[in-house]
Structure 1
Amino acid sequence: MSNALAKIEFSQEELVVIKKQFFPAGGSPAEQQYCFAVAKELGLNPITREIYFVPRRQKINNQWVEKIEPMVGRDGFLSIAHRSSQLAGMETTANIQEVPQLVNGRWEYRKDLLAECRVWRKDSDKPFAVQVSYSEYVQKNNDGQPTRFWSEKPETMLKKVAESQALRKAFNIHGVYSPEEMGAGFETAGGDLVVSPSIEAEFSTVPDRGKEPGPEPAPNEADDGWPPIGPTPKQGDQPKGEYTLADIANMLAAKSIKYELDEDCGYIAAKSFTHKDFLKSIGFRWEPEIKSWVWTGMKEAA
């Protein structure tokens, strides 16, 4: 059974783009070298959102240690599988079953949502199977409730975990994990990574500038780590609620506001604390669950 992965080489121009736009600010040369080496070894391109470089804050012996780790979305693992020419099929199901859970120090059978993924290879007569449970992987807010997307799309999120694990198992991929598995957030249909607020103390998309993690400030009490852009450009007489996704994306780009676009779901999530009034004026609303301003084409309530 062949497990060889096609490596990738980045040109100097690509490396410049990756370092500037896809590598977190503040990363050391050693971290860059490590992350790029993983990407090359797996044959995954960060420019096409096949692999992400995620800043992680981890508390060790009461000290916060910062590091940047590569993470691969389910589609990145699927890309490796397709390039191997050995993928013969994949089937993922989800249903409710009774599973053993440890409750107050005792094992009990309780109902849980389970996702199972089976991956077939052309050079193997048996599938590689993985089962994962909702209670083990659900991402939660600080109040202990499931985050918005784990609440609204639990089956979709859990299937991504099962598929990532089954593809790694079938194609002998080691050392990298998906954001859904690690509680780091989730990958949108457009290939962007939305960081989970429940682990914001450990993961961040914003340069830390040496501060200890603390409570999330109100939207108008902190900045997003990027320099101020200047006055809001005139948007014409078009009323909010009548913009298209393209209109909103263009306006955000004009102010250099970082955003994540999901055309399938029809929304844009923007990460900025210094442009509150501007974002509200074009129809964004603050979503505390994902610590982002979100636009869905609907007018903001007065």
Structure 2
Amino acid sequence: MGAVTTITQDKLNEYLKLSGMANLPSKVKATFLELAGLHGLNPFKNEIYLLPFETYNPNTRQKETQYTIITGYQTFIKKANQTGKLTGWKAEILKDGQNIIGAKVTIWRKDWEHPFVWEVDFEEFARKKKDGSLMGNWATMPGFMIRKVAIAQAFRLCFEGEVDMHGLYEEAEVDKMKDEAIDAEIEEKQDIKKEFANYLLNNSIPKQALKQFSEYAKEAGFDLTDDKVKQKLLDDKESLNRLIENFLDSVLEAEETA
């Protein structure tokens, strides 16, 4: 078994500063330090690193930065080897004809009569564009990417009793999370637009007058190109109804003076 790397608080802060993450939340920083030290992983050698990505909170309707602690799939194999109980393993790409549908990992342990077998589904993890085509590394080396996912998950599960690898992930495992966060935000914004338009239509604003209403609202201090403004008005129906009434009065007054 190799020597365990000691990651000090000073070294961690140096790494985070160089990585542009000096203002990391204290809880995330503490977890990162704990896992790096526990597993002897050196962030300066890219053995462990933080992956920040934006998520969308539908309750607050705000973007939030989340962090996932990433390591290479080789780390999971290394930690399993250090237990002295790993006899062997193999990883296979699963195909249906020429199409990759997943990956399977088989692990043999000295203390188990039967091998541990784990399979992952390609569609569950592959990153795709809106048109359904694969993107990034999932397009150029799909077999390698799904194989990494299967290896990381299999070793983490097979040796969870001996090695605590909870909280460590291979980047390929979380690729899709970033897209799901973006999709959630887009869907939320579309819902706000639809809800706002329907409210206007149901309160005497004809479809052909929606653009005119937006211009009137802007003059009144409400920029309806901003979904946050729309949401605030939907949450404050009294202000929205007053804006609608004033708009309708202005339209009626303009018709009478015409």
Indicate yes or no: 2:114 matched with 1:122. no
Structure 2 residue aligned with 1:19: 16
Structure 1 residue aligned with 2:54: 57
The alignment covers a number of residue pairs equal to 175
Residue 65 (structure 1) shift: 1.7
Equivalent residue in structure 2 for 1:136, among 124, 132, 142 = 124
Q: In 2, are the aligned partners of 1:43 and 1:80 still within 8 Å (CA)?
A: no
Equivalent residue in structure 2 for 1:178, among 142, 165, 170 = 170
Give % identity: 27
Give the Cα separation in 1 of the matches to 2:159 and 2:18. Answer: 30
Q: In 1, are the aligned partners of 2:89 and 2:106 still within 8 Å (CA)?
A: yes
Which residue type is aligned with residue 176 of structure 1?
L
**CA RMSD after TM alignment:** 3.0
Give per-residue Cα distances to partners, 1:259-292, cap 9 Å, x unaligned.
Answer: xxxxxxxxxxxxxxxxxxxxxxxxxxxxxxxxxx
Indicate yes or no: 2:135 matched with 1:147. yes
Structure 1 residue aligned with 2:91: 92
Give the Cα separation in 2 of the matches to 1:52 and 1:23. Answer: 12
Q: Secondary structure at the match of 1:183?
A: helix
Residue 167 (structure 1) shift: 0.7
Q: In 1, are the aligned partners of 2:7 and 2:36 still within 8 Å (CA)?
A: no
Q: How do residues 169-208 of structure 1 correspond to structure 2 at under 5 angstroms? A: 169-172=157-160, 173-183=165-175, 198=179, 201=182
Residue 164 (structure 1) shift: 0.7
Q: In 1, are the aligned partners of 2:93 and 2:100 still within 8 Å (CA)?
A: no
Give per-residue Cα distances to partners, 1:155-213, cap 9 Å, x unaligned.
Answer: 1111111111111011103233221111169xxxxxxxxxx7x46849xxxxxxxxxxx
Q: How do residues 246-265 of structure 1 correspond to structure 2 at under 5 angstroms? A: none
TM-score by length of 2: 0.58
Which residue type is aligned with residue 68 of structure 1?
Y
Q: In 1, are the aligned partners of 2:9 and 2:33 still within 8 Å (CA)?
A: no
Q: In 1, are the aligned partners of 2:148 and 2:172 still within 8 Å (CA)?
A: yes
| Gap runs ≥5 in structure 1 | 1-5, 99-110, 186-195, 203-302
Give the Cα separation in 2 of the matches to 1:23 and 1:38. Answer: 20
Equivalent residue in structure 1 for 2:26, among 21, 26, 29 = 29
Structure 1 residue aligned with 2:36: 39
Give the Cα separation in 2 of the matches to 1:25 and 1:13. Answer: 12
Q: Secondary structure at the match of 1:85?
A: coil
Structure 2 residue aligned with 1:69: 68
TM-score by length of 1: 0.50
Equivalent residue in structure 2 for 1:9, among 6, 11, 24 = 6
Which residue type is aligned with residue 118 of structure 1?
T
Structure 1 residue aligned with 2:218: none
Q: In 2, are the aligned partners of 1:22 and 1:47 still within 8 Å (CA)?
A: no
Change (3 A) 1:44 1:140: same
Q: In 2, are the aligned partners of 1:97 and 1:114 still within 8 Å (CA)?
A: no
Residue 12 (structure 1) shift: 5.4
| Gap runs ≥5 in structure 2 | 184-258
Q: Secondary structure at the match of 1:27?
A: coil
Structure 2 residue aligned with 1:81: 80
- Indicate the structure with greater helix content: 2
Change (3 A) 1:79 1:46: farther
- Indicate the structure with greater strand content: 1
